[in-house]
A and B are shown apart, each in its own frame.
Chain A
Amino acid sequence: MIEEIYEIILDHYKNPRNYGKMENPDIEYEGGNPYCGDEIKMQFKLKNGVIEDVKFSGRGCAISQASASILTEYLKGKKIEEIKNFKKEEHLKNLGMELSPVRMKCALLAYEVMRIALFGEEEIGK
């Protein structure tokens, strides 16, 4: 049961994609969730309005970390213009499971960090 529901999450949690730090990123931003101590940092290399490379680092629960890994896979190679319309609901769909409201915060941390990094502080709390 657990292994089926969490299939995608567990895969990314145990083998995170694009994990680590890059030298000289064009943009980086770090965010946290003080309630449960999750932390995510995202770094981007941009070229001609396209995300050439992205890395994340951080710590926390499986949902928060896997969610960041899944997000970086989606972002890599995408145009920033395109990402602008990428809704949080679409990101949640990519996680492959229904989340209870309490865990939503964990799942959306990476998404929020990405929005603030790419589109600025006015994204905070959106």
Chain B
Amino acid sequence: MEIKEKIFDVYKIRNDFPCLKRKIRGKDLIYFDNAATTQRPKQVIEAIKEFYENYNANVHRGVHTLSYEASVKYEEAHQKVAEFIGAKGMEEIIFTRNASEALNLVAYSIGIHELEEGDEIITTLMEHHSNIVPWQMLRKVKKIKLHYVNVLKNGTLDLEHLEKLLNKKTKIVAFTLASNFLGTITPAKEIIKIIRNKSDAIIVCDGAQAVPHIKVNVKEIDCDFLAVSGHKMLGPTGTGFLYGKKHLLEKMEPFLYGGDMIFEVTTEGATWNELPWKFEAGTPNIAGGIGLSAAIDYLNEIGMENIENHEKELLEYALRRMREIEDIEIYGHKEQDALGLISFNIKGVHPHDIAGICDEEGIAIRSGHHCTQPLMRHFCIENSARASFYIYNTKEEIDVFIEVLKKIKKYFSK
């Protein structure tokens, strides 16, 4: 622990991120929009460059050297992701463009082929639109029922409500490991126990916010699927992945059809390639996968525990300082475990103005509905501002942010 703590030097880490050197209208960039997408370290950018400059080729196809090298690296990327989340091996990891595509994969492959009229799906009011809209699609085309688990006033899931909704007709339960609006980390192990007790449902976890920030182990929580965004954990844009239990992936129908995903094609039909390639039709985002692999190396080098501790410190500090401001309303963050992410409003100030003025001071924060409209409606708010932290953020940056918020409060509140 001693040694690990020494390795975590936020100023050294910052040096690895070229974009953090940007000036915005002459001011130092303060990047607090990490829940949307993170910055990338030079190690990731270099890995992508290295691929394009030294072994650029298609994967799985050629006997030539470049193709072989690219294939090895691309497969290794799957293996690294598998180890990172505690999966059995790369056959359980499917690369996608983002977390949304990973959730759609499950909705199409299982939903379309295996659900029947009258079956039930449970999601929650806490979800990102990505973990709601695909299930609504199934409701429409398969005539299934869709239920939403309530969110309590303190910003946690109502587990008693979940228990009541579960029954033998429940075929899929999809819930997030952490909320991108409230910051709340959901008690996944406990939730999954409840589900398994009362149904045989397939359990789909949205790890888009959790996996970049806290240690997630799929064996420990025992989910069936996990959807993750690579671009929210230092990886390139256009990357994400789906973890699925091998025995489920084996019997599932493919999602996209075409090249690379087949074993053999005749004019009569086709048989499917082995896992995970059965679910990766066409030429994949090879450079992206290799970049994601470098991002995971980077996170492992720092250590997820250190990342968690650093963000916890930032969160506690930011909450304490923000609460100094009169008339600020902070959503969530009551007692529960939470990510370094704070959604808030200042009374009498439109969140768009908060984000706009922060931008003038070089601070990048989000404003809007954060793709969680049902949740926001549940809390009777239309939009909010949101600041979200990552490994390279500092208390000094939070101090600058607080000063700007105080000025906004002073001059803009009616």
Contact = CB atoms under 8 A, between A and B. Distances in A.
Interface string A1-44: 11101100010011000000000000000000001111000000
A106 B349 CA distance: 15
Interface stretch (A46-54, A58-66, A83-91, A116-124): A58-66
A103 interface: yes
Contact of B411 (A6, A61, A100, A103): A6
A103 B414 contact: no
A103 B356 CA distance: 7
B414 A102 contact: no
Given A2-B408, A2-B411, A61 B356 contact: yes
Contacts of A63: 352-353, 356
B382 A37 contact: yes
Contacts of B360: 5, 100
B142 interface: no
Given A2-B408, A36-B368, A14 B414 contact: yes
Given A37-B382, A61-B350, A62-B350, A100 B356 contact: yes
B411 A3 contact: yes
Contacts of B368: 35-36
B407 interface: yes
A38 B356 CA distance: 14
Which of A61, A63, A100, A106 has most B Cβ within 10 Å? Answer: A61
B412 interface: yes
B352 A36 contact: yes
A35 B356 CA distance: 14
B203 interface: no
Interface residues on B, range: 10 to 19
Interface in A77-126: 100, 102-103, 106
A36 B112 CA distance: 35
Interface string B243-254: 000000000000
A102 B356 contact: yes
Given A36-B368, A37-B383, A60-B350, A10 B411 contact: yes
Contact of B407 (A2, A38, A103, A106): A2
A96 to B, nearest CB: 15
B377 to A, nearest CB: 13
A16 to B, nearest CB: 10
Nearest to B412: A62
A10 B356 contact: no
A125 B355 CA distance: 26
Contacts of B299: none
A3 B407 CA distance: 9
B328 interface: no
Given A10-B411, A10-B412, A62-B350, A2 B357 contact: yes
A88 to B, nearest CB: 19
B200 interface: no
Contacts of A10: 411-412
B384 to A, nearest CB: 12
B327 to A, nearest CB: 16
Contact of B359 (A35, A61, A102): A102
Contact of B352 (A2, A3, A5, A60): A60
A115 to B, nearest CB: 23
Contacts of B367: 36
Contacts of B408: 2
A60 B382 CA distance: 11
Contacts of B356: 61, 63, 100, 102-103
Contacts of A38: 352
A38 B368 CA distance: 11
Interface string B342-371: 000000011011001101100000011000
A100 B353 contact: no
A13 B383 contact: no
A51 to B, nearest CB: 28
Interface of A: 1-3, 5-6, 10, 13-14, 35-38, 60-63, 100, 102-103, 106
29 contacts: A1-B407, A2-B407, A2-B408, A2-B411, A3-B411, A5-B360, A6-B411, A10-B411, A10-B412, A13-B414, A14-B414, A36-B352, A36-B367, A36-B368, A37-B383, A38-B352, A60-B350, A60-B352, A61-B352, A61-B353, A62-B349, A62-B412, A63-B352, A63-B353, A100-B356, A100-B360, A102-B356, A102-B359, A103-B356
Q: Would you list the 7 A-B pairs with minimal beta carbon distance, nearest first?
A: A61-B352, A61-B350, A61-B353, A62-B353, A3-B411, A36-B352, A2-B407
